[in-house]
Structure 1
């Protein structure tokens, strides 16, 4: 009998099961049922401060875009320079957020006006937070697309929006050739329908001849901003 046959038999230990992979951490600001598709980074820095640091804004933008692509080659980037009146007070980054019409910054800026809005029955209330328009206290029967069109102009107050931009932004998901996709001429029809529902306040949507459309605020117009960023900014 061999020595091997006298050795005690041991049951082989099965390999340890691999621990389940930990789920990727969720961004705190992303609610359940949604996914992050990117981010916005506001940089408060005027040309004088940039020059004092030995750089200019254009080069800083290029370097940040380059770094983003190095860290995440699949990333797409877009930069916009915020313009504000010379000598505008406040922290640089807050001036930038207001200049670029960040809805959450606008909401804080206008919060003091909210009680007056609630007490006001006459005039127009454009409620971005609830997606509705009140005309002298009554809800206007706007369609979803009509409200989107008005909201797009309101959030870009003071800017003339070309018809081509409205089509590209508000009908971006439509298939070319689809009957629901307007051309630059039929945009006028959509605007005319919106104005008809605004009644006596139709002139808040102004035609800029040869250019496009612009939202004109009057003393009898109030706007309630949402506390979270509007989707059409992303």
Structure 2
């Protein structure tokens, strides 16, 4: 097989295996063993608090995703210039981990870290879910405490949660519309985590089929070129 064919075969194998590597990092002063992969990837739902709705500049939902990047400025001129999402008084935000799951650690260390920013850490209740339908409370983040040990609520290293719901406590941080109202979420990170493995139901997902076909198409093309180049 030519070098081109070998490269195509390697690329196809990598696509099929979907191998990813993560390196431990200290991010926002917190040690995350899985580094950048530790943070929530998707917003499932967001309902701003009716008791106090933030200005539009503070409602950029994507600002709550990925690693924390708060720049120390609690004022936002636009969503693009903002680094956090304000929940509003009583607002609710549901986030999902796409490539990893939150687990317990079988000890008393923090497993989940909520990066609530601004001058004050406003009280926020925290619920976990396996499927985004049934929710289990793990208390709240209050005062200067932003981490949660989910083992304290009966979970352990075998637990696996993909969904986290954050709800602003109405009587914390004031009410009223405009500006930054309610908890300001910069990021949500799973300290105790492992890669997410989709359930094996025997039928590949459409995205998996697409990667497989792309890999095999490249391999087939390389093999055809190899045959044409062989001396007769």
TM-score norm. by structure 2 comes to 0.21
- Structure with the largest fraction of helix: 1
TM-score norm. by structure 1 comes to 0.21
Higher relative contact order (CA 8 A, sep 6+): 2
Indicate the structure (1 or 2) with the bigger Cα radius of gyration.
Answer: 1
- Structure with the largest fraction of strand: 2
